Amino acid sequence: MDTFECIKTRRAIRKYLDVPVPWDLVSNVLEAGRYAPSAGNLQNWKFIVVLDKAKKEKIAEACLKQVWMADAPVQIVICAEPKKAERYYGIRGERLYTIQNCAAVAENMLLEAHNQGLGGCWVGAFDEEMVKRTLAMPEEARPQIILTIGYPDEKVPRPTRFPLEVMTWFNRWRGRIEDVPTYFGYFGPKIQRFIKAGEALARKHGKKVAEKTKEAAKKVKKKVEEKRKKK
């Protein structure tokens, strides 16, 4: 799947088919997480893959009783090692870089899951101590994100997104530009409307244009053959 297409079509999936996920696909998801960027390449994370039904139910309970999570064939708990980042970057490493590192891991994993035809959901609301007890985690480790992975059993509609020019400023906070289309080109809403209108016309008249093109090509071919005969 094209990278940009993968990013645009990924959805949060909360309903899963009761079908096991082959380990090679789960392994690919983990590998995608392993290749995520991290501050100073510390890679201060660990992954706990949860397949046991009883443990999945306990984790679902710890996640504010989100019972749907227990039906996911796979749960992946992304755990942070904050002290490792603190040794190099102080309090900022512990409280910011560690979170950023794990967030990069989670997004990589979700995109690879989607790329393989799987669905996933990012869960961040949970009782941290309950998750740690369930997974026998040491004091120095902290669960940051829990991902549910499995084959989707729902089609989630595309959520609305703010236009790029509304979310982007230049050189300063609220720094705007006058000529939006020049900067954003294809992605500007006005340009998008023109493109969609053009696509609609192409679909409507494409067949006629193709037929006329064929007729024109036949006429040209005929003229070429007549000139050859005269020679």
SS3 per residue for the chain: CCHHHHHHHCCECCCECCCCCCHHHHHHHHHHHHCCCCHHHCCCEEEEEECCHHHHHHHHHHCCCCHHHHHCCEEEEEEECHHHHHHHHHHHHHHHHHHHHHHHHHHHHHHHHHHCCCEEEEECCCCHHHHHHHCCCCCCCEEEEEEEEECECCCCCCCCCCCHHHHCCCCCCCCCCCCHHHHHHHHCHHHHHHHHHHHHHHHHHHHHHHHHHHHHHHHHHHHHHHHHHHC
Q: Is residue 205 assigned to a domain?
A: yes
Q: In the structure, what pLDDT confidence band is assigned to residue 143 with cuts at 50, 70 and 90?
A: very high
Same domain, 178 and 126: no
Q: Which of 150, 184, 215 is the last residue of a domain?
A: 150
Same domain, 44 and 80: yes
Same domain, 91 and 23: yes
* pTM of structure: 0.79
Q: Is the pLDDT of residue 54 over 60?
A: yes
Domains of the chain: total? 2
Same domain, 134 and 206: no
CATH number at residue 76: 3.40.109.10
Same domain, 118 and 183: no
For range 77-82, the mean pLDDT: 98
**Domain span at residue 197?**
160-231
Mean pLDDT estimate for the chain: 91
Which residues are within 8 A (CB) of 102 and not within 5 positions of it... i.e. 6 or more apart?
A: 45, 78, 80, 144, 145
Same domain, 136 and 182: no
Same domain, 126 and 34: yes
Q: Is residue 71 assigned to a domain?
A: yes
For range 18-34, the mean pLDDT: 98
Percent of the chain at pLDDT > 70 equals 90
Q: Is residue 101 assigned to a domain?
A: yes
Same domain, 184 and 89: no
Same domain, 169 and 73: no
Q: Is residue 155 assigned to a domain?
A: no
Q: Is residue 62 assigned to a domain?
A: yes
Same domain, 97 and 165: no
Q: Which of 150, 176, 205 is the last residue of a domain?
A: 150
Q: Which of 101, 102, 122, 100 lies closest to 111 in space, CA to CA?
A: 122
Same domain, 66 and 170: no
Q: Which of 132, 150, 168 is the last residue of a domain?
A: 150
Residues 84, 26: Cα–Cα separation, whole Å: 27
Same domain, 177 and 83: no
Percent of the chain at pLDDT > 90 equals 70
Q: Is residue 21 assigned to a domain?
A: yes
